[in-house]
Structure 1
Amino acid sequence: MRTLWRIFSGLFKWTWRLLNFTREFILNLFLIVLILVGVGIYVQFKNAPAQTPQGALLVDITGVVVDKPTVNNKLRQLGREIFGASSNRRQENSLFDIVNTIRQAKTDSNITGMVLDLSDFVGADQPYLQYIGKALREFRDSGKPIFAIGDSYSQTQYYLASFATSISLTPQGNVDLRGFATNGLYYKSLLEKLDVTSHVFRVGTYKSAVEPFLRDDMSPEAREADMRWVGGLWQNYLNTVAVNRQITPQQLFPGASAIIAGLQAVQGDPARYALENKLVDEVASRSFIEQKLVKTFGWDTKNQSFNYTSIYDYTEKPTTQSGAEIAVIFASGAIVDGPETPGVVGGDTTAAQIRQARLDPKIKAIVLRVNSPGGSVTASEKIRAELMAVRLAGKPIVVSMGGMAASGGYWISTPANAIIASPSTLTGSIGIFGVITTFENTLGSIGVHTDGVATSPLADLSITKTLPPEFAQMMQISIERGYKNFVDLVAQSRKKSPEEIDKIAQGHVWTGDDAKTNGLVDQLGDFDDAVKKAAELAKLGQYQLNWFEEQPSLLDMMLNRVNAAAHAWLPARLQAMLPAPVAQLAEVVQAQPALLNTFNDPQHRYALCMACGEVK
């Protein structure tokens, strides 16, 4: 028996040693490969001669445009060198990098024009499109041509294409103008079927963020408010594109019935319809369009195409700005308690950045770039309080509003010396709500019950028990107090009475145009105007921008690309297995804002605009 045990233990010991050796060998081999790859990349970048751009700047934006990408463009360019070009439609692009690249190319003698190929461009908020359009107009006004080419144009793609000198469309293509719409999911019947109880506390006639818990459709008040701002965005779109195309908004989009009649008149040919209605300048094959581009920019023998440099490969020259600094701090995403994570504003992280800017003697002013629907009241107040400390320290603050700065996004804007918004910014939504969900009926239906003792009804809180009425009363008092604080903050910052602010508050969403009329913003403009205003308030002649951005590592970039590739591969194959209605439902659910991820306020109070969702 002892001999058998020795044989077994010896076999186990040597097997274990072999496994340890194999594990260490694989890890060491992986480490050596990483080191060799790193050295190779370093040598390549150090010794590679700088390539001189020539011909056209190819603006082939892939994915979406945001204020602050998860992976910055420098690491993305390195990723393109290692992994090759990506067609990932989830890719994030920095708005400011795109605009700066276009502006640099405008004065680059090696760049003789631009080609817009937006087939992989998914979209951006309208203020971002306007800012890019401003740079495109500057490029075109410098005397360099812009050619837009495409097999078809979505509304977002066509907005940028309208700034081109010439728009080309292939014979089977179309310009897909439909108007704007926004939709959300409503859960009242589902919650009733599950016996889930949602306790909702709110202030504001138009505070529609809680309606999904209370209704199966929009309330008349929410419908009226949403129709106002959606209609405003669509009118801004039509006005800009119509001016670019030198036609009237009515010619650009005559309405559904007129479009159908127009298509019937051309035997259903959308390309011909687009040409006859001056939406495009020519309908031609890809080969014909390429010949025209070759004639303009020359032939690249190596790539077998016209001469061009992709916007992703165009190297930006270092800025030569000097002097004092203006800090640029981002508040992009829903506002939550705790540290920042990708896609959300962490109250602790943002407050720490603002404090750092306040204590840095080189920083003379702050531009707070806000693109947020709001979120936690506690986190919003933490950011606002830190901004007030900056203002009391004598450093001016200018808020530059992006696509939206609503609810908590407006809360954190109140300490600013000046607020600048785009005409299409969604802002306001001054209101507060609270939601507590309990599951006593759900559990009771399967025979599970909760009971116990408590020294006070206020202590007897559990998601498995009915909410005590005393606590519900206290929550409503807290929500009403929070709303009053919100209104008072806005009234003080805008130099109005609380009664005046209450009339335009009540959770009402406003476009930048309406917000300017109502006195909620000081000026209509873009990021350039905000920087100029900050320099003016700080009395700066020369200055440089200090961008407060966390720089992800190379490993972060590699993991991000692997994750993006998985996202790009998996859903398409899974959805291909689903019946069409199920696939469409999956797409809607995926697009629905992630409510639960933003609900972490310790007092259950939220200043969040759920109406400010994605507009399609």
Structure 2
Amino acid sequence: MHTLWRIIAGFFKWTWRLLNFVREFILNLFLILLILLGVGLYFGLQSKPADTPTKGALLVNLSGSVVDKPSVNNKMRQFGRELLGTSSNRLQENSLFDLVDTIRQAKDDKNITGMVLSLSDFTGTDQASLQYIGKALREFRDSGKPIYAVGDSYNQTQYYLASFANKIYLSPQGMVDLHGFATNTLYYKSLLDKLKVTTNIFRVGTYKSAVEPLMRDDMSPAARDADSRWVGALWSNYLNTVSANRQLTPEQLFPGATAMLTALQQVGGNTAEYALKNKLVDALTSRGEAEQDMVKAFGWNKQDKDFNYTSIYDYAPAPKPDSKDPQIAVIFANGAIIDGQEQPGDVGGDTTADQIRQARLDPKIKAIVFRVNSPGGSVSASEVIRSELAAARAAGKPVVVSMGGMAASGGYWISTPANYIIASPSTLTGSIGIFGVINTYQDTLGQFGVHTDGVATSPLADIAVTKALPPEFSQMMQMNIENGYKTFLDLVAKSRNKTPEQIDQIAQGHVWIGTDAKNNGLVDQLGDFDDAVKKAAELAKLPKWKLNWFTSQPSLTDLIFSQVNASVYAMLPAVAQAYLPAPVAQVALQMRSQADLFNNMNDPQNRYALCLTCGEVK
């Protein structure tokens, strides 16, 4: 027996030692990998002399989306792509301002003789950003350098940019997918009823529809009326720009579903032939034939066995020399507004306020351009940002707000201290309203025999998600929401030199497109980021200036995990589609998106100024 126990004990002893060895071996390998990554990242991000680009085309092969402020900066993203080899290009984010700046520098580069748009991996951006990119493309084309668009097919976003080309190529089996805009939101009332979840909603504003998914199974008539107005205006802006580029009328570009069906029947359902016949494209060619045309235009590269081009991701024009000119700070509010520190894709109230404070205290900075692209969020965080921006203005530094695709609700709240507000014609703004949501689960738990009871010194102390809200707390919450709305009205009224009553007429949660916001006095001018910079320089009386971009730099750990997450999410759609019908997978992704938005709500008073549908246009 003694011998048997020695054998058993020895087995476990050596097994434990083996496990310890394996654990330490893996940890050491991981440590070595981190050290190598750190060293490689350090040298990879060092400034290098710019290589002379290949004489030929600038290949705009955009992958992923275009945003105001990417979660990972361009150098780190390129390093991650090269070193970690991720296959998630369609999930990467591109900086709008870097893209436009690159196109403008290529316009004046003698080595760049034209441009090729290859947009099959471009997943999209908002309408205001498309207009700004289009402006740069028009400047490039007007310089005398040709632009060619090459694609197997074009969705609406891709086709918007392709329409700026001198010539559009389409595969004989391709299509130009023009269908219009729509918003689709999931509604959960019946689900919450089945789960016996009690949703306590407090709001002000007839058109404040952000809470409707929790209290209805469909869109309210008021929300439908409001959304129809701005969605229709967005579509009109799209058609006017693209039809002008193609020298068509909006009706010729998109004659409507019935007329399109009739025209498709005439060509036997051939979508490519329809696009050519209706002048949406200029030529139907295979990839090989289009490549031969690019070779004729830009020459043949024997080494790469392709036409001469430099990818927009490899193009590195000579850096601009340092100057001692006074600075204009560019500070971003990109994403939903949350309390605390910034998170990828969200606006951290404390982070943004700290950046504004730095700009206010820096004597080299003479003005601030505040770039807002946000549907709003926490009232508390919005006020932290607004008050710091007001302090900067009070310190004598002009503040100009440049609105991107969205500056709605809390996004408008943080814009109110500005000396001047500039919006794109397609900006979604306004949505001046407040709401609060608290879910309680007493009935849900009751189904499983779980109940809550106890004692409290007052009804206000007896608040828990496992109990119904006391009537006294509900009344106080509604009063708090109404007070927040009144504060919102007062801030806007003071900013726009109107009375609160006048603002209330255009508030109530109503979303306005940029052109309507200008007519209603909510913005001062229709324009883009360039106009905002010029206005800031004018207000600060600066004949010369340079821009100081306030962007946070993610750590090495953030880079690694962002690349890993991107790889995982790149695989998820394919996995979902393999096991689920496409509509089910799409609904699952939409539910996740809405859940993420609500999960990030961390206002200490549960008060939110948020436009839920502003970012849901497809």
TM-score when normalising by structure 1:
0.95
Counterpart code for 1:379: A
2:128 matches 1:127: yes
- Paired residue for 2:606? 604
- Paired residue for 1:562? 564
- Paired residue for 1:340? 342
2:364 to 359, 362, 369: 362
1:311-344 Cα offsets, whole Å, 9 max, x none, are 1111143223631111111111111111111111
2:92 matches 1:91: yes
The range that moved more, 580-589 or 418-427, is: 580-589
- Paired residue for 1:214? 215
Counterpart code for 1:210: V
1:101-158 Cα offsets, whole Å, 9 max, x none, are 1111111111110000000001000000001101100100110000001111000000
Contact 2:88–2:567 under 8 Å retained in 1: no
2:539 matches 1:531: no
- Alpha-carbon offset, residue 43 of structure 1: 7.5
Contact 1:325–1:365 under 8 Å retained in 2: yes
Counterpart code for 2:275: A
- Paired residue for 1:452? 454
- Alpha-carbon offset, residue 98 of structure 1: 0.6
Counterpart code for 1:411: W
2:253 matches 1:252: yes
Mapping of residues 65-80 of structure 1, within 5 Å: 65-80=66-81
- Alpha-carbon offset, residue 88 of structure 1: 2.5
Contact 1:331–1:350 under 8 Å retained in 2: yes
Find the residue that maps to 1:191 and give its secondary structure.
Answer: helix
Mapping of residues 105-124 of structure 1, within 5 Å: 105-124=106-125
- Paired residue for 2:411? 409
Unaligned runs of 5+ in 1: none
Counterpart code for 1:471: F
- Paired residue for 2:198? 197
The range that moved more, 14-23 or 172-181, is: 14-23
**Whole-angstrom CA distance in 2 between matches of 1:48 and 1:363:** 28
2:421 to 419, 430, 434: 419
- Alpha-carbon offset, residue 592 of structure 1: 3.4
Contact 1:62–1:87 under 8 Å retained in 2: no
- Alpha-carbon offset, residue 23 of structure 1: 3.9
Contact 1:99–1:135 under 8 Å retained in 2: yes
- Paired residue for 1:396? 398
2:137 matches 1:136: yes
Counterpart code for 2:254: F
TM-score when normalising by structure 2:
0.95
Contact 1:321–1:543 under 8 Å retained in 2: no
Counterpart code for 2:564: V
- Alpha-carbon offset, residue 13 of structure 1: 6.2
Counterpart code for 2:356: I
**Whole-angstrom CA distance in 2 between matches of 1:476 and 1:572:** 45
**Whole-angstrom CA distance in 2 between matches of 1:46 and 1:191:** 55
**Whole-angstrom CA distance in 2 between matches of 1:311 and 1:391:** 38
- Alpha-carbon offset, residue 41 of structure 1: 7.5
- Alpha-carbon offset, residue 577 of structure 1: 1.2
- Paired residue for 1:522? 524
Unaligned runs of 5+ in 2: none
Distance 1:355 1:14, change over 3 A: same
1:170-225 Cα offsets, whole Å, 9 max, x none, are 10011000000001011111111111111111111111111111111111100000
1:589 to 588, 591, 595: 591
Find the residue that maps to 1:365 and give its secondary structure.
Answer: strand
1:386-434 Cα offsets, whole Å, 9 max, x none, are 1111111111111111110000000000000011100000000000011
Distance 1:41 1:334, change over 3 A: closer
Find the residue that maps to 2:599 and give its secondary structure.
Answer: helix
- Alpha-carbon offset, residue 80 of structure 1: 3.7
- Paired residue for 1:501? 503
Counterpart code for 2:419: N
- Paired residue for 1:61? 62
- Paired residue for 1:295? 296
- Paired residue for 1:352? 354
Contact 2:86–2:563 under 8 Å retained in 1: no
**Whole-angstrom CA distance in 2 between matches of 1:100 and 1:47:** 19
**Whole-angstrom CA distance in 2 between matches of 1:355 and 1:38:** 31
Find the residue that maps to 1:399 and give its secondary structure.
Answer: strand
Distance 1:130 1:460, change over 3 A: same
Contact 1:406–1:609 under 8 Å retained in 2: yes
Counterpart code for 1:261: T
Matched pairs, number: 616
Find the residue that maps to 1:592 and give its secondary structure.
Answer: helix
Find the residue that maps to 2:462 and give its secondary structure.
Answer: coil
Find the residue that maps to 1:594 and give its secondary structure.
Answer: helix
Counterpart code for 1:459: A
1:325 to 313, 321, 327: 327
The range that moved more, 436-445 or 514-523, is: 436-445
2:156 matches 1:155: yes
**Whole-angstrom CA distance in 2 between matches of 1:278 and 1:94:** 32
**Whole-angstrom CA distance in 2 between matches of 1:177 and 1:245:** 14
The range that moved more, 484-493 or 71-80, is: 71-80
Contact 1:429–1:509 under 8 Å retained in 2: yes
- Paired residue for 1:224? 225
Q: Tell me how large the CA RMSD over aligned residues is.
A: 2.2
Distance 1:463 1:86, change over 3 A: closer
Counterpart code for 1:351: A
Counterpart code for 2:383: E
- Alpha-carbon offset, residue 497 of structure 1: 0.8
Distance 1:482 1:184, change over 3 A: same
- Paired residue for 1:168? 169
**Whole-angstrom CA distance in 1 between matches of 2:593 and 2:206:** 26
